[in-house]
């Protein structure tokens, strides 16, 4: 039986969706592989949304989908019992204009990150988000954030925890400095925690209400961690499986549900 499969890794294809699913950017193309369908005719259910062309090279039949207009349609190969179906969503680009703040209280709370490395970090984020979700992070502003307040080593989100003193909730003190003209504000700090044990390094970053606080040592590649936080900013939730997905503790893959949440 014929089936559509991923041709390029992490390019907006979801093999776990039923039918399988492909994100196509508006005005751009995505190619998928058609297996066991060499002789099948391939058509789009709505050519005003997406058109298809096929090609064969090195024994691989590829189907190229061109995004014509924002919307959804199906790509169908063949008819009857052997037919393969691919759901397609053509999505416009979502641009997230991001302000970056390098927190420095003049004492121990002084991020080791440097503005000089920022463009590489943004490129890494976009390497995850653009091909899969047509979401682009752009640099709106970047500057040192000098704070008079002694933040100590750990910046905390703790106002949800009963019994923790209000002054230990430094989240608001930091995020009050957000750039109000940006869509998303990222604050780099030495250490960030959001539970009852601030001296144990459990959290790497936290995102809420247009703000993200991200610590220096995140364990995973920085670009994946920030892409994960950007996904939270756009409404995607954490999950435990499948391993290797962006919204699990480590990975890059985005699924249909997350992409549709971030970029409806």
Partner 1 sequence: MVEHSFSRKVFLEGILFLVALSFSIQSGSQLAMAQNESQAEAKRQIDSAFEQARNGNLQAIAALAELPAASASLLRPYVHDESSALRREAISVLTALGGKEASPLLVEALSDPNAGNRERASSGLYFVYDPQEIVALDHAGPALRKAVRGHSVSATSVLLLRYFPGKETRQVLEQTRDNPQAGKTKLRSWSPVVPARLPALVSLSALGDTDSRNELLKLIDAADPAQLEFLFNAIREVDSPRVLHALKQCLQNQTQISAGVPAGATPRRRICDLAVDAFVKRLNLKVSFELAEHQRYEDDEIKEVIDGINKTLPR
Binding site for partner 1 (CB under 8 A): 69-71, 92-97, 99, 138-143, 157, 159-160, 162, 179-184, 194-195, 203, 206-210, 232-235, 237-238, 260-261, 264
Cβ-based nearer residue to partner 1, 111 or 207: 207
Nearest Cα residue to 125 out of 216, 210, 222: 222
Please give the full DSSP string across the chain, using - where no structure is assigned.
--EEEESSTTSSEETTSSSEEEEEETT-EEEEEEET-TT--EEES-TTTEEEEEEEETTEEEEEEEE-SSEEEEEEESSGGG-EEEEEEEEPPEEEEEEEEEEE-SSS-B----GGGHHHHHHHHHHHHHHHH-EEEEEEEEEEEE-SS---SEEE--TTSTT--GGG-THHHHHTT--TTSSEEEEEESEEE-SS-TTS---SEEEETTEEEEES--SS-HHHHHHHHHHHHTTPPP---STEETTSSSEEE--HHHHHHH--
Q: Which residue has the tokens 């971030």?
A: 262
Cis check: omega of the bond before 132, within 30 degrees of 0:
no
In whole angstroms, how close is the CB of 201 to partner 1 at the nearest point?
13
Name which of 16 and 208 has its Cβ closer to partner 1: 208
Judged by CB, which is closer to partner 1: 36, or 195?
Answer: 195
For residue 13, the minimal CB distance to partner 1 (Å) is: 20
Q: Which is nearer to partner 1, 34 or 247 (CB)?
A: 247
* Shortest reach from residue 65's CB to partner 1, in Å: 19
Question: For residues 93 and 135, what is the distance between their CA atoms, to the nearest angstrom?
Answer: 6
Beta carbon of residue 138, minimum distance to partner 1 (angstroms, whole number): 8
The least distance separating partner 1 from the CB of residue 58, rounded to whole angstroms, comes to: 38
User: Which residue, 27 or 209, has its beta carbon nearer to partner 1?
Assistant: 209
Which residue, 4 or 21, has its beta carbon nearer to partner 1?
21
Between 79 and 138, whose beta carbon lies closer to partner 1? 138
Residue 181: CB minimum distance to partner 1, A: 5
Tell me how far, at minimum, the Cβ of 14 lies from partner 1, in Å.
16
């Amino acid at each position: 039986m014929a089936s559509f499969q991923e041709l390029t890794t992490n390019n907006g294809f979801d093999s776990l969706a039923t039918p399988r699913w492909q994100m196509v950017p508006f005005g751009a193309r995505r190619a998928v592989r058609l297996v066991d369908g060499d002789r099948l005719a391939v058509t789009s259910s709505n050519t005003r949304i997406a058109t298809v062309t096929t090609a064969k090279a090195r024994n691989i039949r590829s189907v190229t989908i061109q995004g014509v207009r924002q919307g959804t349609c199906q790509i169908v190969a063949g008819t009857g019992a052997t037919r393969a179906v691919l759901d397609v969503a053509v999505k416009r680009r979502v641009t997230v204009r991001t302000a970056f703040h390098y927190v420095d209280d003049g004492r121990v709370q002084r991020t080791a990150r440097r503005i000089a490395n920022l463009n590489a970090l943004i490129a890494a984020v976009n390497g995850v988000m653009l091909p899969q979700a047509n979401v682009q992070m752009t640099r709106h502003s970047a500057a040192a954030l000098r704070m008079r307040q002694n933040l100590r080593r750990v910046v905390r989100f703790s106002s949800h925890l009963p019994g923790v003193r209000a002054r230990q909730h430094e989240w608001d003190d930091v995020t009050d400095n957000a750039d109000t003209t940006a869509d998303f504000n990222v604050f780099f700090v030495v250490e960030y925690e959001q539970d009852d044990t601030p001296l144990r390094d459990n959290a790497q970053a936290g995102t809420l209400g247009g703000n993200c606080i991200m610590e220096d040592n995140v364990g995973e590649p920085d670009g994946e961690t920030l892409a994960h936080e950007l996904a939270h900013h756009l409404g995607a939730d954490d999950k435990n499986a499948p391993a290797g997905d962006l919204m699990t503790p480590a990975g890059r893959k985005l699924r249909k549900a997350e992409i549709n949440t971030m970029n409806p």
